[in-house]
Amino acid sequence: MSAQKPVDVEALRMHSEAPWELVEVRNTDAVYGDGGPDDRRGFDAFRVVDAAGRVLFDSLNSTASVIDEHYDDEYGSVDAWDEIARRNLSLAAVAPLLLAEIIERRARDAAVERLIAADVAYDLADAAYDEACRKEAEDDSFSALDARHALDAARELRGAALAAVRGAAPR
């Protein structure tokens, strides 16, 4: 088995228009059973359609079918469906939602990482400013002005990073 290439999550944004929906489709030609006299014809298969109603994929030709049945004693009828297809395509139908969550989470994580880096830079600039102020108090020829400008820039960077985290927070 060959190694899988990493998935480019950003490229996946180019999927068919969401939301996707799981839809039942009657497969009247399909036969299921053990090949004997109890074989039955017809069961519900499934398909996933995009927001425009276009079929993206279906289970009509699936070889992984497991047909479940429900007997209605009152009406003497049998409902049959491909349970594996229902489960698999239910998962596939929520793929755009899961992708959106992954992308949103990555954006939040990146914003938090930028905030942490900005906090470290601010702490370093604050410490340097405190040291410059101490040195300025001891030596009249020394100015803490450059350190003050660096501290102000670090404060702005931290504020922007905090705003980005707040903007990336789930609503």
Q: Which of these, 48, 45, 49, lies nearest to 62 by C-alpha position?
A: 45
Q: Which of 72, 93, 114 is the last residue of a domain?
A: 93
* pLDDT number for residue 29: 83
Same domain, 89 and 17: yes
Number of domains in the chain: 2
pLDDT tens sequence across 138-148: 888 888 888 88
- DSSP assignment of 73-87 equals TTTTEEEEEEHHHHH
Same domain, 51 and 79: yes
Same domain, 14 and 86: yes
Same domain, 128 and 53: no
Same domain, 77 and 106: no
Residue 3 falls within a domain, yes or no?
Answer: no
Q: Which of 46, 75, 93 is the last residue of a domain?
A: 93
Q: What gap in Å lies between CA 121 and CA 161, rounded to an integer?
A: 12
Q: What gap in Å lies between CA 48 and CA 99, rounded to an integer?
A: 16
Q: Which of 93, 108, 142 is the last residue of a domain?
A: 93
- pLDDT higher for 70 or 7? 70
Residue 86 falls within a domain, yes or no?
Answer: yes
Average predicted confidence (pLDDT) for the chain: 87
Domain hosting 48: range is 10-93
Contacts 24+ apart (CB under 8 A), 52-57: 52/16, 52/17, 54/16, 56/16, 56/20, 57/89, 57/92
Residue 1 falls within a domain, yes or no?
Answer: no
Same domain, 45 and 109: no
User: 111 near 160, Cβ under 8 Å?
Assistant: no
Residue 116 falls within a domain, yes or no?
Answer: yes
**Predicted TM-score of the model (pTM):** 0.66
Q: And the tokens for 155?
A: 């404060």
Residue 5 falls within a domain, yes or no?
Answer: no
Q: What gap in Å lies between CA 153 and CA 112, rounded to an integer?
A: 19
Residue 134 falls within a domain, yes or no?
Answer: yes
* pLDDT number for residue 86: 96
Same domain, 64 and 128: no
pLDDT tens sequence across 121-142: 999 999 999 988 988 888 888 8
Residue 81 falls within a domain, yes or no?
Answer: yes
69-98 exposure pattern, b = at least 16 Cβ within 10 A, e = fewer = eeeeeeeeeeebbbbbbbebbeeebeebee
Residue 147 falls within a domain, yes or no?
Answer: yes
Same domain, 63 and 118: no
Same domain, 83 and 136: no
User: 139 near 131, Cβ under 8 Å?
Assistant: no
